[in-house]
Amino acid sequence: MCGEEMSDINKHHDKAMELADQAFIARRDGKEEIAQILSVAALQAEAAAAEELKDDLDCEPTRSILYRSAASLAIDCHGYREAERFIATALAGNPPEDIAEELRDLLENVNFNRHLALRNIQLAPSELQLSIAGGDGAAGAAGVPGDATERGSTPPQIGALDNLRWMW
Q: Where residue 93 sits, what CATH number does that domain have?
A: 1.25.40.10
User: Whole-structure pTM over 0.85, yes or no?
Assistant: no
**What's the pLDDT score for residue 5?**
62
Residues 78 and 158 in one domain: no
What's the total number of domains in the chain?
2
Domain that holds residue 162: 128-166
Indicate whether 141 pLDDT > 80.
no
Residue 2 lies in a domain: no
Written as one letter, the residue type at 121 is I
123 part of a folded domain: no
pLDDT band at residue 135 using 50, 70 and 90 as cut-offs: low
- Name the helix (H) or strand (E) containing 96: none
Identify whether residues 42 and 20 lie together within a single domain.
Answer: yes
d(CA 47, CA 110): 17
Q: Span 24-32, mean pLDDT?
A: 95
- Start-to-end CA distance of the chain, whole Å, equals 50
Q: Report if residue 155 sits inside a domain.
A: yes
Is position 142 within any domain?
yes
53-59, Cβ contacts within 8 angstroms, sequence gap of 24 or more: 53/1, 53/2, 53/9, 54/89, 56/1, 56/2, 57/93, 57/94, 58/2, 58/94, 59/1, 59/2, 59/3
**Is the CB of residue 89 less than 8 Å from the CB of residue 128?**
no
Given a cut of 70, whether residue 161 has pLDDT beyond it is: no
Confidence of residue 167 (pLDDT cuts 50, 70, 90): very low
Whether the per-residue pLDDT at 41 is higher than 90: the answer is: yes
